A and B are shown apart, each in its own frame.
Chain A
């Protein structure tokens, strides 16, 4: 048996030709680069999916979570060490399906993490089944006669569920996406970017061309990003998929409201000097 040579580190992407993840990956690297933060202070938390395979393609500290569970891990990392920048990579399946409750509940707490949803309307890693964002009537491997469910609307949900930073961008518009990622990572709170991602293999109908014809930028519409109502209205429109910053509001993040995290992160609080005598009093 021959011993294989060590592969080059990090590993090279294994995504299909034409995958939207290539563009997003490039935008992430540019977006992080523009932050000016030391490499070791950026932690990337990956969900399971084609996007999550990026865990092996980056050189930051990484946590490849269980399917759907990247957000609670990210919130836990931030509660442990608030001095880190935490970037979460999820797909539409993991974020809006398997981990939907974490998406809904952690945005309410304004945990200071940046969430990128690689939304290709399919479960592509598991070969193309329906996802929460698949349009009604779509034939996939798990819905051969057409899906019955109405699609999930993440932007409308976020707008009505107190998310502080809500954006959507197109995977192929790398300059705009990378700038948005930097902006989101500089935001003190829960920042989500729903990224429109073509999957030429399992969702060929929604091709790069299709997206170019169907997206419209919020900027061109004169959208004001300080109004939840306006954000919700744009999220609900049926004619086009709006991209850009839907909503942004400055408010304190979760850890900023926790008393024991006011002075320093938990990682900086020593356990070499614990005194439980005052706690014992009530048991007398």
Chain B
């Protein structure tokens, strides 16, 4: 057990309130002013699978899930079987022998346990079986030194829409669990087990916790998103769910289209009228959308595509994580055109980059792909929303377009000094032009003429130079003294930072360079860090080393050492440390 953190997990049957119980415990932790990282696992079936929700909390920032548990709330016997390996002699297990006929001696636990009659206590007070989960939360709160009042405030906020009676019953259940645990401990039932509870911290006004997908959705709204069209696909669907549920408050229009092809083409249609638009999907749906990416490219229409990766090929493993679509999204299209590809590393970056994506798509009149994965999309992170009031200027709109002697407006005017030509939108007199899927001339009319083809290709490519000027410093936490420099992209940032911290505690210095800009690529910084590093290890969630290959392609530097996984599971700091100590 490391100082001033706890690692708590609830596990049980999916469909039995595991997710909401986990969320309540996470919010309770956050409202104590703790940083949190929540990780969930669930199978791709309707009901009856094993479901877990893990909260890693601490008074210093926490970056990822941890393997070893301080407290396991096992809602059934299977939860004990599944997570036995995650227990140490310092752990504690809460279970309910009366509910799932558990004979705890059979499990040979390495640690103490508390037999908590969650269902019985709930039913005694007239509550339902599922409300028994709150008995478990109450006991967890006592044992980890959390404030029952704060737990109750979260229970209130979560269940308020179900009425005061439900809130009251859940409060009673939480209190019963809290008191049962207190009495059990006082009676010596937990033996010498103890948890060194830590103090409540300041809870800043700007503090939030959200999942990567919620961060993307809110960041997009903050960035001026107006039209969102999508087709559900795990693990991207919660972006659609969030935006649909908040359509009114966000002042946007959300369309669940009949398929991904329709979704992306609707977004492009709306973009043609001048509104900021977006679609979202996972790898399979992104494959459907590929043809329309080229349409955004050739007709210079702003578009943001959110792609949350899961293992493939084809349908792969829907509810698990992967980074195997990198190579695909960087080049997906017929022929060539410049694009932005961003892979935020945590929810804070997801919020900021989703906001930025709306801006840059309009500014550069083209495609932005925002890349996530199940791990970032559905894990919950602590973040700060410092700014909640935003004002955006518009880019590239000609307020008074004038058609020339052709009767058309030169929307795609060739100007070697200005790569970005001014748009007109339908409804503007004098702005008539064609937004064309085919190669086109300056007015958008189709052409197969050699010189015009070259001119328009070159015009689009000229934007790349300006796009490169936007590249910020990539996240780099390290120094020349580091024994190892890890290079990663996207969500792998968290486990690497966690590994860095654990290694530092043991006197081993390692650095982390996490890339969020994959196109255009931060060539200078990456080259410099590699050249100055003693030993570089590329860590990524795919089989063939797509990031390592991209680095070689962009910098000419070949990297030999790597740590990869492609089993659908996220990286764990403990395993990264094991790998480098090999």
Let me know if A191 is at the binding interface, CB within 8 A: no
- Chain A: interface residue count, which band? 35 or more
Let me know if A148 is at the binding interface, CB within 8 A: no
State how many angstroms separate the Cβ of B273 from the closest Cβ of chain A: 3
Most buried by B among A53, A84, A283: A283
CA distance A210 to B255 in the complex (A): 44
Most buried by A among B218, B222, B435, B443: B435
> What B residues does A40 contact at CB under 8 A?
426-432
Establish whether residues A41 and B392, one from each chain, have CB atoms under 8 Å apart when the complex forms. Answer: no
Let me know if A59 is at the binding interface, CB within 8 A: yes
Establish whether residues A80 and B269, one from each chain, have CB atoms under 8 Å apart when the complex forms. Answer: yes
> What B residues does A65 contact at CB under 8 A?
265, 295, 437
Let me know if B179 is at the binding interface, CB within 8 A: no
Complex partner residue of A283 from B209, B261, B269, B430, CB under 8 angstroms:
B209
State how many angstroms separate the Cβ of B381 from the closest Cβ of chain A: 10
Let me know if B196 is at the binding interface, CB within 8 A: no
Q: Mark B260-280, 1 if CB is under 8 A from A, else 0.
A: 011101111111111111000
Let me know if B533 is at the binding interface, CB within 8 A: no
Task: Choose, from B48-56, B170-178, B224-232, B465-473, the stretch at the interface.
Answer: B224-232
Establish whether residues A66 and B426, one from each chain, have CB atoms under 8 Å apart when the complex forms. Answer: no
Let me know if B556 is at the binding interface, CB within 8 A: no
Task: Choose, from A119-127, A129-137, A268-276, the stretch at the interface.
Answer: A268-276
Let me know if B9 is at the binding interface, CB within 8 A: no
Let me know if B182 is at the binding interface, CB within 8 A: no
Task: Choose, from B125-133, B139-147, B245-253, B483-491, the stretch at the interface.
Answer: B245-253
Establish whether residues B407 and A9, one from each chain, have CB atoms under 8 Å apart when the complex forms. Answer: yes
Establish whether residues A80 and B218, one from each chain, have CB atoms under 8 Å apart when the complex forms. Answer: no
Task: Choose, from A162-170, A192-200, A259-267, the stretch at the interface.
Answer: A259-267
Establish whether residues A276 and B265, one from each chain, have CB atoms under 8 Å apart when the complex forms. Answer: no
CA distance A226 to B265 in the complex (A): 33
Establish whether residues B443 and A69, one from each chain, have CB atoms under 8 Å apart when the complex forms. Answer: no
Establish whether residues A60 and B392, one from each chain, have CB atoms under 8 Å apart when the complex forms. Answer: no
Q: Mark B382-409, 1 if CB is under 8 A from A, else 0.
A: 0001001111111000000000001110
Let me know if A215 is at the binding interface, CB within 8 A: no
Establish whether residues A260 and B252, one from each chain, have CB atoms under 8 Å apart when the complex forms. Answer: yes
Which residue in chain B gives the minimum CB-CB distance to A277?
A: B388
Let me know if B257 is at the binding interface, CB within 8 A: yes
Let me know if B317 is at the binding interface, CB within 8 A: no
Establish whether residues B227 and A79, one from each chain, have CB atoms under 8 Å apart when the complex forms. Answer: yes
Let me know if B291 is at the binding interface, CB within 8 A: yes
Establish whether residues A283 and B273, one from each chain, have CB atoms under 8 Å apart when the complex forms. Answer: no
Task: Choose, from A21-29, A70-78, A242-250, the stretch at the interface.
Answer: A70-78
Let me know if A10 is at the binding interface, CB within 8 A: yes
Q: Which of B207-260 contact A (CB under 8 A)?
A: 207-210, 214, 218, 221-222, 224, 226-227, 229, 246-253, 255, 257-259
Our count of residue pairs bridging A and B at CB distance below 8 angstroms stands at 219
Establish whether residues B258 and A267, one from each chain, have CB atoms under 8 Å apart when the complex forms. Answer: no
State how many angstroms separate the Cβ of B195 from the closest Cβ of chain A: 26
Complex partner residue of A279 from B221, B292, B445, CB under 8 angstroms:
B221
* B-side interface mostly: mixed
Let me know if B436 is at the binding interface, CB within 8 A: yes
Q: Which of B446-464 contact A (CB under 8 A)?
A: 446, 449, 451
Establish whether residues B265 and A9, one from each chain, have CB atoms under 8 Å apart when the complex forms. Answer: no
Which residue in chain A gives the minimum CB-CB distance to B430?
A: A40
> What A residues does B548 contact at CB under 8 A?
none
CA distance A119 to B430 in the complex (A): 33
Q: Which of A33-52 contact B (CB under 8 A)?
A: 38-41, 43, 45, 48
State how many angstroms separate the Cβ of B393 from the closest Cβ of chain A: 7
CA distance A203 to B394 in the complex (A): 50
Complex partner residue of A259 from B248, B389, B407, B431, CB under 8 angstroms:
B248
Let me know if B438 is at the binding interface, CB within 8 A: yes
Establish whether residues A102 and B262, one from each chain, have CB atoms under 8 Å apart when the complex forms. Answer: yes
Complex partner residue of B270 from A38, A266, A277, CB under 8 angstroms:
A266
Let me know if A228 is at the binding interface, CB within 8 A: no
> What B residues does A66 contact at CB under 8 A?
265, 291-292, 295, 437
Which residue in chain A gives the minimum CB-CB distance to B438?
A: A64
Let me know if A278 is at the binding interface, CB within 8 A: yes
Establish whether residues A284 and B426, one from each chain, have CB atoms under 8 Å apart when the complex forms. Answer: no
Which residue in chain B gives the minimum CB-CB distance to A278?
A: B249
Q: Taking A66-B295, A274-B224 as contacts, is the C-beta distance between A73 and B438 under 8 angstroms?
A: no
Q: Taking A72-B262, A258-B253 as contacts, is the C-beta distance between A280 and B427 under 8 angstroms?
A: no
> What B residues does A155 contact at CB under 8 A?
none
CA distance A56 to B30 in the complex (A): 59
Establish whether residues B432 and A39, one from each chain, have CB atoms under 8 Å apart when the complex forms. Answer: yes
CA distance A249 to B221 in the complex (A): 37
Let me know if A229 is at the binding interface, CB within 8 A: no
State how many angstroms separate the Cβ of B538 from the closest Cβ of chain A: 33
Q: Which of A219-245 contact B (CB under 8 A)?
A: none
State how many angstroms separate the Cβ of B440 from the closest Cβ of chain A: 8
Complex partner residue of B266 from A41, A62, A72, CB under 8 angstroms:
A72
Q: Taking A61-B433, A62-B435, A266-B227 as contacts, is the C-beta distance between A4 and B449 under 8 angstroms?
A: yes
Establish whether residues A279 and B446, one from each chain, have CB atoms under 8 Å apart when the complex forms. Answer: no
> What B residues does A101 contact at CB under 8 A?
258-259, 262
CA distance A276 to B222 in the complex (A): 7
CA distance A48 to B246 in the complex (A): 37
> What B residues does A267 contact at CB under 8 A?
273-275, 425, 427
> What A residues does B427 contact at CB under 8 A?
40-41, 81, 83-84, 267
> What A residues does B330 contact at CB under 8 A?
none
Establish whether residues A266 and B262, one from each chain, have CB atoms under 8 Å apart when the complex forms. Answer: no
Let me know if A105 is at the binding interface, CB within 8 A: yes
Establish whether residues A74 and B269, one from each chain, have CB atoms under 8 Å apart when the complex forms. Answer: yes
Q: Taking A76-B266, A266-B270 as contacts, is the C-beta distance between A275 and B389 under 8 angstroms?
A: yes
Complex partner residue of A10 from B226, B274, B393, B445, CB under 8 angstroms:
B445
CA distance A81 to B268 in the complex (A): 13
> What B residues does A172 contact at CB under 8 A?
none
Which residue in chain B gives the minimum CB-CB distance to A273?
A: B391
Let me know if B444 is at the binding interface, CB within 8 A: yes
Establish whether residues A274 and B222, one from each chain, have CB atoms under 8 Å apart when the complex forms. Answer: yes
Q: Which of A69-121 contact B (CB under 8 A)?
A: 69, 71-81, 83-84, 101-102, 104-106
User: Can you identify 13 A-B contacts, CB atoms within 8 angstroms?
Assistant: A40-B427, A59-B432, A62-B432, A62-B444, A69-B262, A81-B275, A101-B258, A105-B258, A266-B270, A271-B224, A276-B390, A279-B218, A280-B385
Q: A63-B436, A271-B391, A283-B209 are in contact. List 20 more A-B contacts (CB 8 A).
A: A9-B445, A56-B434, A61-B431, A62-B433, A64-B437, A66-B292, A72-B262, A72-B265, A72-B269, A80-B272, A81-B427, A83-B427, A84-B273, A102-B258, A102-B262, A105-B258, A105-B262, A269-B226, A274-B389, A280-B218
Interface residues, chain A, with chain B CB atoms under 8 Å away: 3-4, 6, 9-11, 38-41, 43, 45, 48, 53, 55-56, 59-66, 69, 71-81, 83-84, 101-102, 104-106, 258-261, 265-267, 269, 271-280, 283-284
Interface residues, chain B, with chain A CB atoms under 8 Å away: 27, 30-31, 207-210, 214, 218, 221-222, 224, 226-227, 229, 246-253, 255, 257-259, 261-263, 265-277, 291-292, 295, 385, 388-394, 406-408, 425-438, 443-446, 449, 451
